[in-house]
Chain A
Amino acid sequence: MKRRSDRLQVRLYSLLLFVFISGSLLAQRKVTGTVISAKTNSPLSFATVTVKGTNTATATDANGNFSITVPAGKNVLSISSVGYADRDVTIGSGPVNVALQESTSTLNEIVVTGYTSQKKKDLTGAVSVVNVESMNKLSTGSIENQLQGQAAGVTVTGSGQPGEEPQVVIRGANTFGNNNPLYVVDGVPTGNISDLNPRDIESLQVLKDAGAASIYGARANNGVIIITTKKGKGKATVSYDGYYGTQVVAKGNPYNLLSPQGNADLEWLALKNAGLPTKDAEYGSGATPVLPDYIFPVGAHNGDASVDPSLYYVNPDYTDPNDPTTFYRITQANKTGTDWFHEVNKNAPIQNHNLTVSGGTENGHYLFGLNYLDQEGTVIYTFEKRFSIRANTQFNIGKHIRVGENLSYTVTNNPQITAIQEGGTIGYSYREEPIIPIYDIKGNFAGNFGTTLGNSLNPYATAYRTRNNKGLNARLFGNVFADVDIIRGLTLHTSFGGENYSGYYHNFSYPTYENTENTTTNTYSEGSDWGYNWTWTNTLTFHRVFGKHDVQLLVGTEAYDENNEDVGGGTTNYFSFDPNYTTLSSGSGTPTNYSGRSYLSLWSQFAKLDYQFNGKYLLSATIRRDGSSKFTQNQKFGYFPSVTAGWRISQENFMKDISWITDLKIRGGWGVMGNQLNLGGDNQYATYNQDKNASFYDINGSNNTIVQGFRVGQIPNPFAKWEKDNNSNIGLDATLFKNKVDIVVDYYQKNIQDLLFNPALPGTAGNGTVPFVNIGSMKDNGLDLGINTHWDLTHDLRLDAGITLTTVKNTITHITDQADYFYTPDGRRFGQDFIINQVGHPINQFYGYKIAGFFNTQGDIDAADASARKITGNSNAVYETDEGVGRFKYVDVNGDGVINSDDRTFLGSALPKFTYGITLGLTYKNFDFSSFFYGSQGNKIWDQVKYWTDLYPTFTGAKSLSALNDSWTPTHMNAANPEVDYNGYFSTTTQPTSYYVENGSYLRAKYMILGYTFDKDLLNKVGITSFRVYVQATNLFTITKYPGVDPEISSNGNQGQRIVDMGVDEGAYPHTKQFIFGVNVKF
């Protein structure tokens, strides 16, 4: 027995059963015994011992001992325990000692759902029960990352950056805004589990449909993930799990970039194609470009007077913004080319150590855990160091009261970079030209200052300058609880829990001098955020069995209160950049500061009825009423009902003879779930506010001061109410071939209405904060499939295999009464948004011109124009602006003969059609092998890296081999890129087009593990209970057609925008291969 609620139920059952039979005791005898695990030889506590053919039952104590009174005429005991196969034993003369084999059946597994727990076979809602052991095998500090592919219905998209929170979406898109599920950890709801130690998890369930989740009402719409942390049990145990490994950066030329000479050759080709003279200050003016010996002074050669080192002057720590005008920089050309990618991506170690002390007696149990995670990122100066402790205890006060607590305290230091954008360490690593060295002749940073080599920044310098930045986040999370058995069958549970967090950072921005676009000021900023939230839950559970009727009724209340504050400031003009010197007080510039506060509270009442008839017919109904401070008095409360039913067909007589069916259940349900994450607390209020940048003005004409002014803040919407998800689900659970095969399959349909969305107001309404209104709607449907199989191939060889499959079809059904679309505000360098969300289509559709091919000849152009003239009746019509030979011909989508903005069309969605996970495990004697594969199919990627590297006229910078070798020429018409040109055109580079859209499907070997467990007998002699060693390879290979560095592309948008802004690759932080050695020891 693992969990409080499990024990509670079992004990309640036994109590009830005792009472029922107490009147009929005759010639009875007392039998004692011990129950142990056949695998570990350790005692099993809370195993149920029943006298077969009666209702007499008891449970074993902490040492596995039991004592039971057996009525006359009975001589067989049934022993059962969760996770073990049931066993019947005949009572002999002495004590009954039973060893239970571990069970492959999960039917009797107790699953914690909303506020109660149920046996898996009795579930009527859609619940993914995750195999925590399999999940924990992925070497990452993040539970969310581990969840990828492990649960049908859950889609996780992340990156290779340590500590970066991936996007977790349950069953498609649930809202235009924040799709984060609600996490409930040991009964405490929270929005964030990123710092929770994965090794602390005992069980993880995903509540996917309204039947399972709508007991969480207003916060259930994005799905609910229920996490229970580990508890102590049995005799005192010390266990250590640890691993150490290396993350290996991919070799080669991941961005496929040209050499310095190649870049120069490409420029010459562009100039020639445009009819311009071939001339560049760096490369001279000959027929072929010549690489200079020095890039600064521009184009200088060895021996030139201008490169005399005595002229050199650079003060990297300058404090006067005008100082750089006096610098004399000398920078040699790196003719062989700087490999910027590998200058900022380095192999990095990862280690994780987990120490747990746990145990339990009949008076209570305890678990103390320590965890240290230290993962360096492969991009330099990124890492996650995390230290956490956990203390879970419970005390039994008498027979009817149990009190306890679950607490974790985590300290995290996790500097991250923003990826998937043109700037920053990664963006600069594919933009900075390779002819630029890292350092100039005197060891200061080199860059493109004063050169004709573009405007990228030195990526190594960019990263290096963050080295002294510091930050620390701390979080205390947990709860205290009490269970009281008031009368028979009636239990009160109260839990008070929540979190108290604080975060802190300080950054110093060094002035730069090596780039064309420099920051000439030095700035220090420091800030902190802190807050707390608490949830107080009270429930009363009544559970009784009346003959064939099993009734469980739950009523409860829950209050939630949240407080967040932040404060910070900055100053400029530091006399010294010594990190020991720079504080907010030691700068000489004008200090700036900020602070903010936000509050939220919720108040809820709920009830749930679970009814079973004869173990065959299952019915469950829930209702929740939620109130939120985000809404006005009239809209404050929302009601969220659900009804589900199940039918265990296998219990029917007509099925009982089908031997290969162990258990078969069909179930279905309907319900309503709510959401209010998207809107802020001020949505209902009309406010004015001030902003020094936006509403202050130098009315005095002082040139250096500004006077306070006001502007509209929030435009109010007093009518906003809950988002409502009408959710139906039909599912089938089957256990076949004597527990060898488990199948869970669900089909769902969601009609999400009253979506809270802040549609742009017309400009005439001014620029106040647009309120959220209940206007949009969308629907999702899909199939979740989970299959697990276990085969004992020989006596020593066991095969475990499983698959999860998640399919999603999302369709927007309404946006606003005005518009049937909105763009995701992400224009990149096009200056026009290229992600559309339109009625009748899934969210997050790439949108632009579809390329039909190249204009290969003037004849192609003439034919297109002739057709345009015929269709339009305009003798001057041209088919396409700036059409030209070797340029793209776009598809005339609307057939009006000419290309204009009405011909933009849907180019595919970043949402995968389906995702899947495959586990394969083999156990042979002491060896165990396990592997896990994850795949995503049908998702498109907008490859914005191509914009920078494959097209010459976009921006001067590093370009790709493809640009030089696979651009259109009269002899290479089957090309990837348009003709190399000096200028960008409507028909080449200035528009968002299908050129950028790539197939993002992939299959990745997430992990492969080979382990060896030492023989127990040997170990026991030295006091070790178990000892296992393993080696692991993570992300060993990825099968994909995507040419970029990583096909898994999340989003760098904020939580509220990620779902509509995912899949744009502008330099991802790639997942890297990891090679790991680990041990598991138990004393």
Chain B
Amino acid sequence: MKLRIIIPAALVSAGVLLFSCKKDFLIHTPQGSLSADVLASPSGVNGLLIGAYAALDGQDVGNGTPWSSSVSNWIWGSVVGTDASKGSYSGDQQQMNEIFNYSASTANSFFDDKWKACYEGISRCNNTLSVLPKVTGLSDADAKNIEAQAKFLRGHYYFELKRMFNMVPWIDETTTDYNQPNTDDIWPKIEADFQFAADNLPETQADAGRANKWAAVCYLGKTLLYEHKFADAKTQFDNAIANGETAKGVKYGLFTNFEDNWRPEDEAISPEAVFPVEMAANVGTNSIDNANYGDMLNFPYGSSPFGCCGFFQPRIDLVNSYRTDANGLPYLDNYNDHAVKNDQGILSADPFTPDAGNLDPRLDWTAGRRGLPFHDWGIHPGADWIRDQAYAGPYADKKDIYWQATPQYHDAASWAPGSAINYLVIRFADVLLMDAECDAQTGDLTSAENLVNQVRNRAANKSGWLYKYKDDSKPLDGFSTTPAANYVVNPYPAGYFNSKDIALKAIYFERKLELAMEGHRFFDLVRWGIAEQTINDFIGFERPLNNDILPSAHYQSPKNDYFPIPQSEIDLTTVNGAKTLTQNPGY
């Protein structure tokens, strides 16, 4: 009978005890994460800034595919810009098909992937900027450096958005309502961010990956060029060409060899890396997310040593552009009449002899061709390394390809390869050609010609050509002294640029040759105002050769000059039936 009382009494006491600590009982703080206060320190704000850099590659910043938001813009700049086909087969990544056939719906998730990736980058810049004023213990110089880097990066992300979508909302560190309209042209704000960066960044930085003053000057110039402010842009480019250096203090210039730009071992001494996006392989994550994740599909297929996935194949039209005449100059108008012989439709088992005509040597660092050395991986066998020739043509991507001799730059942690090859958002050859464009637009044809010829002279440098293997069966034994093809390339003879039209035509063409497959082409065509003509001409030429270009493919200006504002973004910012975002014309 005593227990009848004792047990309830004990339980009631225990209950009271529990009740009294109930306030704490119902509180659990987050595990494994930080609050903003903790980050308001010099190392904390630097960590936020590193986070803003980490968004550059476009990876793990949204829920989209790695490739749709890749910093290399291989889809947006190169595939849409006709450098390359999607590659692979029809059914693979088929939402890309409507994009490169210029009939994409506004709901295509690839647009939103890129949009979100850029705004996540912007968000990280803004977080850095908003925490920065709360940090104590930073010198003024360091604080300015951080602020300027954050604004530089923000300028980059907005630049990407601007040329993709044209009218986009502006979000900065003071914004609290994310439903912002896209009614204002944000070029002035992008300019302002780059101007601030150019004014406040140091000339060199402790880390190779950080933006420095000269990167900002060049990016400001690029911004002004896109705005067609040629004289202002020229000022920036001239300054950078005369005085610029990389973050590690290497004076701006052209690498001796064209292909050195895609050699991780040479990155530190690169004079050409104006704004690199640093890629790192085998960093111990057992993933390739820091190793060109967005370009993982772009390796030869079939029995190739790469495994996956046969995307991003240079177009026949692009390869034909590298034909040179007897003087080593390109056929600016009718290069497709001097087509480069290819192995389309020929099985690897059947014989094929590569083209014997004159070629610009940059071709063979840009496109993998049957019968020629494919880096140190052996002779490209043609069809056996191509996923589907009839669909997307006979060529292979080359600028993204790592070398067999340097396996440390290959990351095999995923089902498709990663690599440590940096992506150069701006490389110095690009700066020279942009400056040449400004010169041509502002009437200084001689200077324009000289700048273009600097680029062509580098191409003509024999040490940078592709040579045949010493022994085709032992590609690792190195190259012979016999060029892999009949390379004939020369600078334009003095006075060739005798009119603005000819100068621009040559400059435009030089950009195609020099910067092919680097994600620039489409944006160049649009800002030049020749996208509709050029792309429709291309479609007319290429469609009979490849099955991936559909009968309905047709480019239409101004509609296709910009991609549609992603439908989901319009939906998500509609308040009480009123749309915050305005769709681009034509969609």
Binding site for B on A (CB under 8 A): 271, 274, 276-277, 279, 281, 285, 298-299, 321-322, 324-325, 397-398, 400-401, 449-452, 455, 482, 484-486, 492, 494, 516-521, 523, 536, 538, 557, 559, 561, 570, 572, 589-592, 596-603, 627-629, 636, 681-682, 685-714, 759-768, 817-819, 825, 827, 829-833, 878, 881-882, 900-901, 951, 953-956, 982-986, 989-990
Contact = CB atoms under 8 A, between A and B. Distances in A.
Interface centre among A689, A692, A830, A953 (most CB of B within 10 A): A692
Contact of A484 (B8, B51, B93): B8
Given A484-B4, A710-B39, A767 B62 contact: yes
B286 A597 contact: no
B36 A686 contact: yes
Contacts of A817: 575-576
A704 B420 contact: yes
Interface stretch (B72-80, B302-310, B451-459): B302-310
Nearest to A284: B347
A601 B26 contact: yes
A590 B284 CA distance: 5
B276 A687 contact: no
A763 B26 CA distance: 34
Contacts of B91: 829, 951, 953-955, 984, 989
B308 to A, nearest CB: 5
A133 to B, nearest CB: 37
Interface stretch (B225-233, B401-409, B477-485): B401-409
A695 B54 contact: yes
Contacts of B105: 900-901
B172 to A, nearest CB: 11
B280 A702 contact: yes
Interface in B379-435: 383-384, 388, 390-391, 404, 407-410, 412-413, 415-416, 420, 422
A486 B90 CA distance: 78
B209 A766 contact: no
Contacts of A829: 91, 94
Interface stretch (B133-141, B189-197, B333-341, B547-555): B547-555
Contact of A596 (B7, B32, B179): B32
Given A694-B61, A764-B119, A831-B109, A705 B283 contact: yes
Contacts of B307: 516-518, 520
8 contacts: A276-B390, A590-B282, A590-B283, A603-B25, A687-B35, A704-B282, A704-B408, A901-B106
A711 B124 contact: yes
Nearest to B205: A699
A831 B108 contact: yes
Contacts of A279: 345, 347
Given A711-B54, A990-B94, A321 B127 contact: no
A538 B284 CA distance: 51
Contacts of A953: 89-91
Given A572-B286, A693-B59, A764-B122, 8 more contacts: A276-B390, A325-B377, A685-B35, A697-B53, A704-B280, A710-B47, A762-B178, A881-B103
B18 interface: yes
B576 A693 contact: no
Contacts of A709: 47-54
Nearest to A511: B412
A701 to B, nearest CB: 3
B494 interface: no
A627 B61 CA distance: 35
Interface string B9-38: 001000100100010011111111111101
Contacts of A636: 26
A85 B209 CA distance: 86
Contacts of B268: 701
Contacts of A827: 109
Contacts, number: 368
B272 interface: no
A1015 to B, nearest CB: 49
Contacts of B107: 832, 901
A682 B30 contact: yes
Which label, helix, strand, loop or mixed, suits the secondary structure of the A interface?
Answer: loop
Which label, helix, strand, loop or mixed, suits the secondary structure of the B interface?
Answer: loop
A239 B38 CA distance: 63
A989 B347 CA distance: 28
A703 B550 contact: no
B97 A627 contact: no
List the 10 closest A-B pairs by CB distance, nearest first. Answer: A831-B95, A766-B123, A709-B50, A701-B208, A450-B303, A590-B284, A694-B60, A693-B289, A954-B91, A709-B51
A692 B116 contact: no
Contacts of B200: none
A271 B90 CA distance: 13
A624 to B, nearest CB: 16
Interface string B564-579: 0011110111111000
Contacts of A455: 309
B4 A401 contact: yes
Nearest to B410: A321
Contacts of A516: 301-302, 307-308
Given A450-B384, A706-B283, A954-B91, A688 B35 contact: yes
A818 B574 contact: yes
Contact of A695 (B50, B115, B388): B50
A819 B31 CA distance: 33
Interface centre among A451, A702, A984, A990 (most CB of B within 10 A): A702
Given A603-B25, A694-B59, A766-B119, A687 B30 contact: yes
Contacts of B155: none
A976 to B, nearest CB: 18
Given A685-B30, A686-B35, A764 B180 contact: yes
A763 B165 CA distance: 14
Contacts of A900: 105
B209 A697 contact: yes
Contacts of A688: 33-36, 38-39, 48, 127
B409 A703 contact: yes
A99 to B, nearest CB: 38
B1 interface: yes
A765 B302 contact: no
B408 A696 contact: no
Contacts of B349: 281, 298-299
Interface in B290-308: 290, 301-303, 305, 307-308
B334 to A, nearest CB: 27
Given A701-B209, A710-B47, A766-B123, A761 B178 contact: yes
Contact of B280 (A598, A629, A698): A698
B501 interface: no
B257 interface: no
A199 to B, nearest CB: 33
A522 to B, nearest CB: 10
B264 interface: yes
A242 B179 CA distance: 64
Contacts of B150: none
Contact of A597 (B31, B38, B279): B31
A951 B566 CA distance: 30
Contact of A983 (B3, B35, B207, B550): B550
Nearest to A982: B547
Given A298-B349, A401-B7, A764-B119, A699 B53 contact: yes
Interface centre among B53, B90, B122 (most CB of A within 10 A): B90
A867 B26 CA distance: 65
B169 interface: yes
B241 to A, nearest CB: 23
B280 A494 contact: no
Nearest to A592: B286
Given A818-B572, A983-B547, A696 B50 contact: yes
Contact of A694 (B18, B54, B267): B54
A25 to B, nearest CB: 26
Interface in B445-495: none
Contacts of B48: 688, 709-710
